[in-house]
Amino acid sequence: MKSEISIVLRKDLDFTNVRYYTLKFGDEKKTELDKFYDNYQKEYSKSVDYIKMWIAQIGEKFGAQARFFRPEDNAEALPPPTKELRCLDIELDKDNLNLRLYCIVLSPEVVILVNGGIKESDATRDSPGCWEQYKFTSNISSQINRMMKLGHLTIKGKMLKRDKLFNLTYTK
Amino acid sequence: MASKAYLNALKEIPKDIQNDVIGSLDIANEIHLVLEQKNLCAADLAKMLNKSESEISKWLTGLHNFTYKTVRKISDVLGVDLLVTNSSKIAEYEEEIELLQNKIDELTNKIDSDFGYHETLNFMVSTVVLQDEDSLDNDRYLASFIPYEAENEVKIKAETDSTLSFHVIKG
């Protein structure tokens, strides 16, 4: 079924240097980021807290520089690109290390946080826990890039402006 | 001042995780900036430290748990102090303020000797702004003197690469 996707501003994530947005299916109540937190906050609380802190610190102090995000084809992901997370806390178990939050970095000031999951193997396509979320993020990222090239979506500072005649869609 | 969103976010996140992320991102960013200033890349730092390039790249993403020894070693090879304590920072600023005060005195004497205005020209420094030209967001120091309304602004380029701005008024 084809759904309309809207870009939603996260007022609670409007930091000094980055304004974060998320995505929402037209026929659903929760945003993708809320779904991510609901799914993982309880079982992977430590990983989620780290991700929240990276989001906050990058947003407040540094801005969304490419080096803080893990490149995932035409999208990005948190945590930052390294396997060194274990250095921070040896109690983190393997599953906690593999929690990914996919995002679309549009500029150093505008980032769309989408959804994520557990990456069980090296290849994302072999990880059922996050493959769907990755495919969705990647698809929306392509649509956004196209819209930006055609001028239907523009960025001004921390603001995103969309031509109302053009919508993002996704078929589940 | 921190944004409301940031302050609220911190309320939810355990202190140990905050410290981990703040500390590692700060040091990673500092190394990144120094490398950029010195026109070096991660590979150069890797060679200097006899480490693999991939390890240095990981450091620069802000996830490495730096030990004091590692930071010291990086500071040594880059020739910069990556761990600056508050007291050493204050001492550095005090030194700069003293230098600027000397410049003010120098200019006072120059005006006095060139124009002989000393008796009739009552000039005051209303504010001294110490600003590093290379990095505009650096700490800005204001030393308030007698608050007179400014008529002219005089700028002096100090030897420290800092700009001294002050106002001269006729009394």
- How many angstroms away from the CA of A150 is the closest CA of chain B? 33
Q: Which amino acid is at B73?
A: K
pLDDT, tens digit, for every residue of A12-68?
999 999 999 999 999 999 999 999 999 999 998 988 998 999 999 999 999 999 888
Nearest CA in chain A to B18: A53
Q: Are residues B15 and B35 in the same domain?
A: yes
Domain match, B100 and B74 both = no
Model confidence at A92: pLDDT above 70: no
Torsion of CA A23, A12, A93, A117, to 10 degrees: -10
Using a cut of 0.90, tell me whether the model's pTM lies above it.
no
The residue with greater pLDDT, A151 or B44, is A151
pLDDT averaged over chain A? 88
| Chain B residue with the nearest C-alpha to that of A58 | B25
On whether both B58 and B16 belong to a single domain, the answer is yes
Rounded to the nearest angstrom, the minimum Cα separation between B93 and chain A is 23
B106 and B36: one domain?
no
Domain boundary among B78, B111, B137: B78
Residues B97 and B48 in one domain: no
pLDDT computed for residue B41 by the predictor: 81
Inter-chain residue contact B2 with A60, CB threshold 8 Å: yes
Q: Which pLDDT belongs to residue A98?
A: 82
B66/B102 same-domain check: no
Q: What residues in A contact B61, CB-CB < 8 Å? A: 67-68, 80-82, 84
Q: Which residues of B touch A52 (CB under 8 A)?
A: 9, 12-13
pLDDT at B66: 66
Q: Is the dihedral of CA A134, A119, A84, B23 positive or negative?
A: positive
**At residue A101, what are phi and psi to the nearest 5 degrees?**
-115, 115
Please tell me the distance from the alpha carbon of residue A96 to that of residue A114, in angstroms, as a whole number.
18
* pLDDT score at A153: 93
Give the domain extent around B105.
Answer: 86-168
Residues B18 and B65 in one domain: yes
Q: Do B50 and B92 have their domain in common?
A: no
Averaged pLDDT for residues A66-84: 80
| Structural domains of chain B, count | 2
Do A84 and B2 lie within an 8 Å CB cutoff? no
Q: Are residues B66 and B104 in the same domain?
A: no
Q: Are residues B45 and B71 in the same domain?
A: yes
What are the chain B neighbours of A12 within 8 Å (beta carbons)?
Answer: 5, 8-9
Tokens 């910069």, located at residue: B80
What mean pLDDT comes out for the span A143-156? 94
| Domain end marker among B55, B78, B101 | B78
Report the range of poorest mean pLDDT among A40-44, A110-114, A143-147, B86-90.
B86-90
**Substitution target from B1, B18, B20, B21 for chain A, most A beta carbons within 10 A:** B21
**Residues A95-105 pLDDT 10s:** 456 899 999 99
Same domain, B41 and B95: no
- Is there a single domain that holds both residue B52 and residue B93? no
- Which residues, in sequence order, are CB contacts of A140 under 8 Å at separation 6+? A5, A23, A104, A112, A114, A168, A170
What pLDDT does residue B164 have?
53
Portion 83-142 of B in contact with A at CB < 8 A: none
User: B47, B78, B109 — which closes off a domain?
Assistant: B78
> pLDDT averaged over consecutive 10-residue blocks of chain B (171 residues)?
92 89 80 86 82 70 66 83 72 84 87 63 46 44 40 48 51 41
CB distance A141 to A104 below 8 Å: yes
Hey, is the C-beta of B22 within 8 angstroms of any chain A C-beta?
yes
Query: A-B interface: how many C-beta pairs under 8 angstroms?
Result: 84
Task: Supply the pLDDT for residue A157.
Answer: 94
The A2-14 sheet, strands edge to edge: A70-72, A75-78, A99-107, A110-118, A19-25, A2-14, A168-171
Split at pLDDT 50, 70, 90, the class of A165 is confident
Per-residue pLDDT at B62:
57
Q: Could you give the CA distance from residue B33 to residue A158 in angstroms, rounded to a whole number?
A: 24
Decide if B33 touches A, using CB distance below 8 A.
no
Q: What CATH number should be reported for the domain holding residue B42?
A: 1.10.260.40
Q: Give the pLDDT confidence score for residue B60 in this predicted structure.
A: 63
